[in-house]
Amino acid sequence: MKTYNYSDLSKAEIAKLVQRNVDPANEIRAIVEDIIANVQQNGDAALLDYAATFDKVTLDKLYLDKAELEALAAQVSETQKAALDTAYKNIYKFHEAQLKGEDKVETMPGVTCWRELRPIEKVGLYIPGGTAVLPSTFLMLGIPAKIAGCHEIIVCSPPQKNGGVNAFIAYVALMLGINRIFLAGGAQAIAAMAYGTESITKVDKIFGPGNQFVTKAKTIVQSTTTTAIDMPAGPSEVLVIADDSATPKYIAADLLAQAEHGIDSQSVLVCTSAEIANKTIDEVNRQVVTLPRAEIAQQAIDHSYIVVVDHLGQAVNFSNQYAPEHLILATDKWEEITGSVINAGSVFLGNLTPESAGDYASGTNHTLPTSSYAKAYSGVSVDSFVKKITFQYITTDGLKNIGPSVQTLAELEGLHAHANAVAVRSSN
Ligand SMILES: NC(=O)c1ccc[n+]([C@@H]2O[C@H](COP(=O)([O-])OP(=O)(O)OC[C@H]3O[C@@H](n4cnc5c(N)ncnc54)[C@H](O)[C@@H]3O)[C@@H](O)[C@H]2O)c1
Ligand SMILES: N[C@H](CO)Cc1c[nH]c[nH+]1
Ligand SMILES: [Zn+2]
């Protein structure tokens, strides 16, 4: 990992450091646009072709039904079920608390306004399954969709070598009461859910993380169809802020946890102590070789870096510019700096809170904005699966109170029909 001193860096150098790979030559875009066009034209047949090309699986049908899911789920052990159940309960508990109604507001006597929640009717969930199959992502998307009350939930995940999904994905589907999983991955799955095919319903909103093909497809279809997306949730990333109260062994473990997701993941350390930084490098080198996914993690670490800063304020400033998906405050002084955190997807406080807890089971959602989109987007929550519709009711007195202002505002905009809609009611 390359090390920089914050005070030696120019503004331009910092801007370059915080920039992620955003497909500058539009190479990914070109590939993804072709895939989307093919799915639009050829529907299910294109999905079957891509399963053969990219996933190396020949499928005779595009989905697994309830009986097939049950057969796969039977392979899950009791210990694994207990862990999935714990995650399910905590995620459910944390997300259920988000489903709050709002009070009605009387803005003037006789003028009442309020908002009511309605679920998005048809949602599409993408569950990654390229380099690793992520049943935890299925929980993170399926639970808030269920709590919100979405009527139709389409699920796509890349086909695995067994010609289906893995046993854990099947088990989670049954936990969520979802009886069908479509065997489609990558940009083609996103295109299918945005345009619809013979067997996949076009949905109103697509959710879920994925690699750069998935993420690019989501950003394209959101501008070319009426299907919305949750956010760009691409390759995982973590930024650790540490001071001399931090433990290099823990920091290294957290950096490697995100690095093992994929070669395009990024793990950044911003540290007030050069000594802790150096010890962390040693720990990373020691731990990485012990990992089954050592090669992937090492490649991600090779394009990650360390910034040594003078104080924690400088560290938070750098982090706000980076806007990490995950931010770990590996310091005993975390309470002094949380208020200054402006841009981050999810924050992990102190030296004993591993980011993996949030990835799996503490209750917060792990589908989070990457590539600095945390400057403008929140992670997935129940809010992502609902619309908030405004309502208003005006009484006779209310019309007397608000009518003159509405009429004057309409006249000053030259919109006389608007003014008349009040006048005709007021003259009775
Ligand atoms: N931001 C978040 O909230 C979050 C959460 C979990 C995972 N992630 C990230 O999700 C990603 C998952 O990626 P993955 O690759 O393991 O699974 P994936 O399911 O996103 O992608 C696999 C699919 O990519 C397609 N693909 C592969 N190579 C291709 C090529 N050359 N051209 C066109 N399409 C191709 C294939 O169709 C394949 O089925 C990781 O980067 C991980 O870090 C992010
Ligand atoms: N860290 C990922 C989000 O970037 C989520 C995840 C799933 N499984 C393990 N981790
Ligand atoms: Zn993770």
For atom 29 of ligand 1, the residue with the nearest CA is 54
CATH superfamily of 235-358: Nitrogenase molybdenum iron protein domain (3.40.50.1980)
Residue 393 φ then ψ, to 5°: -140, 130
Architecture label for domain 27-234+382-386: 3-Layer(aba) Sandwich (3.40)
Binding site membership of 359 for ligand 2 (Cβ less than 6 Å): yes
The residue from 95, 325, 355, 366 that is catalytic is: 325
> Which ligand has an atom closest to residue 156 CA?
1
Ligand number with the minimum distance to the CA of 232? 1
**Is 325 marked active-site?**
yes
Concerning whether 326 is annotated as a catalytic residue, the answer is: yes
Q: If you take atom 14 of ligand 1, which residue's CA is the nearest one?
A: 130
Compute the distance from residue 210 Cα to the ligand 1 centre, in Å: 4
Residues of the chain with CATH 3.40.50.1980: 27-234+382-386, 235-358
Q: Is 41 annotated as a binding residue?
A: no
Helix axes 135-148, 78-96, angle to 10 degrees: 40
Q: What is the ipTM of this complex?
A: 0.98
Which atom of ligand 1 lies closest to the CA of 188?
Answer: 37
Ligand 2: atom nearest CA of 137 is 7
Query: Distance (Å, rounded) from C-alpha 270 to C-alpha 250?
Result: 14
Q: How far apart are CA 189 and CA 211, in angstroms?
A: 12
Ligand 2 atom nearest 258 alpha carbon: 1
List the chain pLDDT tens, one digit each, 428 residues.
999 999 999 999 999 999 997 788 899 999 999 999 999 999 999 999 999 999 999 999 999 999 999 999 999 999 999 999 999 999 999 999 999 889 999 999 999 999 999 999 999 999 999 989 999 999 999 999 999 999 999 999 999 999 999 999 999 999 999 999 999 999 999 999 999 999 999 999 999 999 999 999 999 999 999 999 999 998 999 999 999 999 999 999 999 999 999 999 999 999 999 999 999 999 999 999 999 999 999 999 999 999 999 999 999 999 999 999 999 999 999 999 999 999 999 999 999 999 999 999 999 999 999 999 999 999 999 999 999 999 999 999 999 999 999 999 999 999 999 999 999 999 86
